[in-house]
Amino acid sequence: MKQADLLYTGKAKSVYRTDDPEVYIMKFRDDITAFDGGKKDTLAGKGRYNAEVSTFIFRYLGEHGIRTHYIESIEPGVIAVQNLTMIPLEVIVRNVAAGSIVRNYPFREGAPLDPPVIVIDYKSDAHHDPMLNDELIYALGIATPEELDQIKAMALAINELLSKYLDLRGITLVDFKMEFGRSNGRIILGDEISMDSMRLWDKETGASLDKDVYRFEKGDVMETYAGVAKRILSAPWGEVK
Ligand code: TYD
């Protein structure tokens, strides 16, 4: 499989075509952004840590029956993925109140959300990712009711698997964001699940172990990413039942 032309450049990843139309190559860059692109930096090695963690999580989810776009790792920071038609939704599952849900609604930071709360935003830079509801998703023609049901069920199943796994590593999965795509009429997990898209708190100390360290300058971002990658990757995934 040969890498061909650049298809798409996002805030932290670039996607390339290959000589196989079904396969794309995804490169995790060292760029980091926050606040709708208002804060930007490049941190050497960051792409590699996110790729490692995302790869590990996608393989773990795959082993547990979740369909994902992951095919194989090519080199550090670079993976081969299935070509999906992406659905422009940011599907966020929240187990603990934090971030925008605390700013926008009367939740106390750190309050458990049980059952978990699903929030879905429209992935559109032009519209600044507004929150959607089911009716808006149907009216905009983004997904059918059957597809949305499936996306929500997958999001909750992924949350359950990932929360359990991270809990065993002493990490609380506060919330995280997923993106889904279609291939041959099936819904498949795409994009990444990494320290850029999860909000993680140390179970003992409550310390942030994710992009909040960058957003709010809570410490050394690379030290945090390296440490959390080590913690996540150190566990044999067979442990989780
Ligand atoms: P949220 O609290 O809505 O946003 P923020 O606190 O960044 O204003 O974010 C919930 C989770 O989803 C958090 O773990 C980060 C992730 N997320 C993304 O990865 N990309 C996004 O565009 C958004 C809105 C959230």
Residue 176 near ligand 1, beta carbon < 6 Å: yes
Q: Are 118 and 110 in contact (CB under 8 A)?
A: no
pLDDT for 34-73, tens place per residue? 998 899 999 999 999 999 999 999 999 999 999 999 999 9
> Which residues lie closer than 8 Å to 211 by C-beta, 6 or more apart?
32, 34, 195, 196, 197, 199
Within the chain, where are the H helices?
46-63, 100-104, 134-139, 145-168, 212-215, 221-233
**Do residues 142 and 198 share a domain?**
yes
Which atom of ligand 1 lies closest to the CA of 176? Answer: 14
pLDDT for 102-154, tens place per residue? 999 999 999 999 999 999 999 999 999 999 999 999 999 999 999 999 999 99
pLDDT at 2: 80
Q: What is the pTM of this model?
A: 0.95
> Which residues lie closer than 8 Å to 153 by C-beta, 6 or more apart?
none
Residue 233 covered by a domain: no
Q: Give the confidence band of 235 by pLDDT, cuts at 50, 70, 90.
A: low
**Do residues 13 and 106 share a domain?**
no
**Do residues 134 and 170 share a domain?**
yes
**Do residues 102 and 60 share a domain?**
no
**Do residues 132 and 32 share a domain?**
no
Residue 70 covered by a domain: yes
CA 144/CA 174 separation, integer angstroms: 28
Q: Which of 57, 82, 107 is the last residue of a domain?
A: 82
Residue 129 near ligand 1, beta carbon < 6 Å: yes
pLDDT at 75: 96
**Do residues 94 and 183 share a domain?**
yes
Residue 13 near ligand 1, beta carbon < 6 Å: no
pLDDT at 237: 58
Q: Tell me the percentage of the chain whose pLDDT exceeds 90.
A: 94
Q: Ligand 1 pocket check: which of 127, 197, 211 to mutate, most ligand atoms within 8 Å of Cβ?
A: 197
Instruction: Tell how far the Cα of 31 is from the centroid of ligand 1, in angstroms.
Output: 17
pLDDT at 241: 42
Q: Ligand 1 pocket check: which of 28, 33, 57, 92 to mutate, most ligand atoms within 8 Å of Cβ?
A: 92
**Do residues 9 and 102 share a domain?**
no
Output the domain CATH number for residue 67.
3.30.200.20
Residue 192 near ligand 1, beta carbon < 6 Å: no
**Do residues 73 and 108 share a domain?**
no
Beta strand residue intervals within the chain, DSSP E: 3-9, 13-18, 23-28, 31-34, 39-42, 70-75, 78-82, 85-86, 89-96, 112-122, 171-183, 186-190, 198-202
Domain region containing 207: 85-219
Output the domain CATH number for residue 196.
3.30.470.20
Q: Which of 37, 53, 82 is the last residue of a domain?
A: 82
Residue 179 near ligand 1, beta carbon < 6 Å: no
**Residue nearest atom 8 of ligand 1, based on CA coordinates:** 100
pLDDT at 233: 95
pLDDT at 1: 78
Residue 132 near ligand 1, beta carbon < 6 Å: no
Write out the two tokens for 201: 């708190």
- Total tally of structural domains belonging to the chain: 2
**Do residues 179 and 208 share a domain?**
yes
Instruction: Please state, in angstroms and as integers, the Cα–Cα distance from residue 68 to each residue in 2, 48, 134, 158, following that order.
Output: 22, 20, 23, 11
Which atom of ligand 1 lies closest to the CA of 177? Answer: 12
Residue 175 near ligand 1, beta carbon < 6 Å: yes
Q: What per-residue string of b and e applies to 129-148 under the rule 16 or more CB within 10 Å gives b?
A: eeebeeeebeeeebbeeebb
**Do residues 93 and 140 share a domain?**
yes
**Do residues 14 and 117 share a domain?**
no
Residue 94 covered by a domain: yes
pLDDT at 36: 85
